[in-house]
Amino acid sequence: MCKVDKIIDETPDVRTYRLIMNDPARMETFKWMPGQFVEFSLLGHGECTFCISSSSTRPGYFDCSIKRAGVVTADIHSQLEEGMDVGIRGPYGNWFPTEEIKGKNLLFVGGGIGLAPLRSLIQYCIDNRKDYKDFTILYGARTSADMCYKEEIEEWKKNPSLKVILTIDKPEETWKENVGVVPKILEEVVKPAVENTKVITCGPPIMIKYTLVSLDKLGFAPKDVITTLEMKMQCGLGKCGRCNIGSTYVCKDGPVFTYEQLKSLPDEF
Amino acid sequence: MSVFIVETDKAGLQKFYEEIIGKFETYAPVEKFDKYDYKKVSNLSECNPDSPIETTMSLKPLFFPKTAKIMKFQEDSSGTTLSETDEDPLAGSRVILGVKHCDARGLQVLDQVYNWDYIDTDYQKRRINTVIVSTRCDKAGNQCFCTSLDYDVENSDAHDVRIVNGLDGKIYIQGVTEKGEKLIKSSSIQQPASDGAKDELSKHYKAFDASFRLKMNYTEVNAKLQKLFDSPEFETVSSNCISCNTCAFICPTCHCFKISDEKIKDTGVRYKSYDSCNNGYFTLMAGGHNPRPVKYRRWRQRSLHKFVYYKERFGMNLCVGCGHCAISCPVNISIFDVVNQVSKIMQ
């Protein structure tokens, strides 16, 4: 069991829940890697799968950023308050290849709530900054109000060793950054160098689809593009049988896959 | 594999059953309205372990209950407390009589998924504490095709004890596993089988093998299905399906489940209950995205999971050829026909 320590309103429909385990000894030993997920229970309402959106390099708590999308998430938003208990199982799944991307340039491409799993890795890489080379974050949302982690993004922008590029879909009066969908900005503004670069992307399916096309155009090899998948999950243990794509269980073998691995799976999307 | 065999006659077999029922918690096929299902019995007259008719439901619910309470929770001013449920996942040992080949084989298939990585301890406890006694497979049923699915009937160790009606009129009781051998040794039937017993068993299995109406070239079907993910044929074969999920619930190997909570005031229970990939909501995600929104995609998943994916992952086929689904389907869909028809379009 965990207590909700703090609730942070990110956007009109996304909130970040900062959680601390009731048992301090367990909190101490609770370790996870960026990209892993937990099963989050609002008891009596149901259990949902969320990635951990903070990094274990910042110990003592962990974050789950939750978008109001379905029945349980609506209940979480309307009924879960600071100081209340939630049930947590995990961490489950694989993680971003933090070792493999050492010494590489990193390009993060995120859209909407898709920044949540990336944020865990971004924090992890910032906290181990010397292990990684150039660091670029491209983040897009429908409107400026739909951007998650606004305060943290401001901090990232102030950090001289990070390059942060923001974009929204349609122009707004007070908006001074880019306007346009993520793949367009990727091709026209970011123009990333392919050499020695790993791309980590997550966002809504439509964004991922066209981002992969753009990355292909820019010359990125499928093995250098890493993403994390969303699938309906319940047990997180490779038993309940709903997250499989072919013989691959997303909850055990994923959720993190390279584009190369995804291409070898049956085309269920 | 043990080769411990005793021989007896009809009266001896009855005695063997009676002794088991007297000593252990026993389950056996019980008739109701001409249909059979595994029920707890306290007397041999209540049940019919030798009935040739297959049970409607498979053996699965005795190991993986239709609905199980997995956790309780209680809320008060200080927070929420979790506790174990009072349901005892089978403390003592039990014997199941009258099991068919397919049902026992189904458990071996389920073992693969329940014992990889995280181990389902409730399931495992039930497995360890159960002795399975098979009979009844003298002649294949109308929808049976177990021998087609890389299943070696003669050398199978899916059951602990096998009872075989020899063509010579004798009844052979064979202990296949250590558990089974122990069960036989604890009974009063101790007449060791004559030297020719093994040949008699072989003859029995040959006759059994020859009695199948349905035959499938499994290797070929498996190989073809691997390449037929995009086949439009899945639409044709699934068009009659009314998505009632009966096939999955009675299947010996379907193991998908869902987790749900029930809460009244401050106390609640978490349940684990059967679910099925034929259910349209099975993969529906919050926010509306559903990778399998239409019937043919769900049937494709069902067919390929059974005949390709599971084999790839766990080395066994996720269909044991029992024909339960075909017998109970309200619109006469048979998984045998489905995979045959789909793979037929490829030459």
- Here the tokens at position B105 are 């084989």
Contact A45 B263 (CB under 8 A): yes
pLDDT band at B325 (very low <50, low <70, confident <90, very high): very high
> What average pLDDT does the structure give for chain B?
88
Contacts of B83 in chain A (CB under 8 A): none
The domain of B35 spans 4-66+87-210
Compute chain A's Rg from CA coordinates. 18
- Mean pLDDT over the full length of chain A: 90
Give pLDDT tens digits for B66-75: 888 888 999 8
Same domain, B94 and B233: no
Residue B91 has pLDDT above 80, yes or no: no
Q: For residues B147 and B153, what is the distance between their CA atoms, to the nearest angstrom?
A: 7
Tell me the per-residue pLDDT of B224-272, one tens digit each, with 9 for 90 and over. Answer: 888 888 888 889 899 999 999 999 999 999 999 999 999 888 899 999 9
**Segment B196-210 mean pLDDT:** 86
Whole-Å CA distances, A180 to A141, A166, A225: 10, 10, 22
Does B273 score more than 80 pLDDT? yes
Residue B295 inside a domain? The answer is: yes
Contact: A231, B312; criterion CB under 8 Å: no
Considering its fold, how many domains does chain B have in total? Answer: 2
Mean pLDDT of A43-66: 91
Confidence of residue A153 (pLDDT cuts 50, 70, 90): very high
CB within 8 Å: B277 and A238: no
What span, in angstroms and rounded, lies between the C-alpha atoms of B286 and B283?
10
Give the predicted TM-score (pTM) of the model: 0.86
Indicate which of B111, B283, B306 best probes the interface with A, i.e. most A CBs within 10 Å of its own CB.
B283
Domain covering A2-92: architecture: Beta Barrel (2.40)
- pLDDT above 60 for A164: yes
Q: Phi and psi of B48, rounded to 5°?
A: -140, 85
Torsion of Cα atoms, B21 then B25 then B31 then B36, to 10°: -120
Q: Are A55 and A48 in contact (CB under 8 A)?
A: no
Residue linked to tokens 């093994």: B198
Helices (H), chain A: 24-29, 71-79, 115-127, 150-158, 182-185, 205-218, 250-253, 259-263
Q: Is residue B77 part of a domain?
A: no
Residues of B in Cβ contact (< 8 Å) with A73: 286
Q: Is residue B268 in a domain?
A: no
Same-domain check for residues B24 and B158 = yes
Asked if A52 contacts A64 with a C-beta cutoff of 8 angstroms, the reply is: yes
Closest residue in B to A84 (Cα) is B79
- Residue A75: pLDDT band with limits 50, 70, 90: very high
User: Is the predicted pLDDT of residue B1 greater than 60, yes or no?
Assistant: no
Mark whether B16 and B112 lie in a shared domain. Answer: yes
DSSP state of B192: B
Inter-chain CB proximity B259 and A232 less than 8 Å: no
Longest dimension (CA), chain B: 74
Q: How far apart are CA B132 and CA B107, in angstroms?
A: 10
Length of chain A: 269
**Arithmetic mean of pLDDT, A174-195:** 88
Task: Note whether B323 and B196 are same-domain residues.
Answer: no
What does DSSP assign to residue B307?
A: I
Q: What is the pLDDT at residue B250? A: 92
How far is A4 from A79, CA to CA, in rounded Å? 12
Residue B53 and residue B173 in one domain: yes
Distance from CA of A84 to the nearest CA of B (A): 7
Please check whether residues B185 and B238 belong to one and the same domain.
no
Cα separation of B153 and B130, whole Å?
21
What is the structure's pLDDT at B53? 79
| A269 and chain B in contact, CB less than 8 A | yes
pLDDT digits (tens, 9 = 90+) for A89-116: 989 999 999 888 988 999 999 998 999 9
- Residues of chain B contacting residue A239, judged by C-beta atoms under 8 Å apart: 113-114, 118, 120, 255, 257
User: Tell me, what's the pLDDT at B344?
Assistant: 85
B294 in any annotated domain:
yes
Residue B187 lies in a domain: yes
Reply yes or no: is the peptide bond before residue B192 cis, omega within 30 of 0. no
Determine, for residues A43 and B261 on separate chains, whether the beta-carbon distance falls below 8 Å. yes
Length of chain B: 347
pLDDT value for B107 = 93
Give the least confident one: A21-35, B86-100, B158-172, B305-319: B86-100
Would you kindly state where each structural domain of chain A is located, as residue ranges?
2-92, 105-228
Same domain assignment for residues B194 and B142 = yes
A-chain CB neighbours of B289 within 8 Å are 205, 230
Task: Out of A44, A234, A241, name the one closest to residue B255 (CB).
Answer: A241
Structure-block tokens of residue B120:
């389902």
CB contact A240 to B (< 8 Å): yes
- Contact check, Cβ <8 Å, A246/B304: yes
Cβ(B58)–Cβ(B106) under 8 Å? yes
Same domain, B286 and B329: yes
Tell whether B53 and B117 lie within a shared domain: yes
Q: What is the pLDDT of residue B19?
A: 92
pLDDT computed for residue B50 by the predictor: 84
In a domain, B133, yes or no: yes
- Cβ-nearest to B259 among A231, A234, A246: A234
Mark whether B34 and B98 lie in a shared domain: yes
Does B315 lie in the same domain as B253? yes
The pLDDT of residue B153: 83
Chain A residue with minimum CA distance to B277 = A242
Residue B194 has pLDDT above 90, yes or no: no
pLDDT of A222 higher than 90: yes
Q: Which numeric CATH code is attached to A105-228?
A: 3.40.50.80
Instruction: Give me the residue from A22, A69, A241 closest to B256, CB to CB.
Output: A241
Position B266 in a domain? no
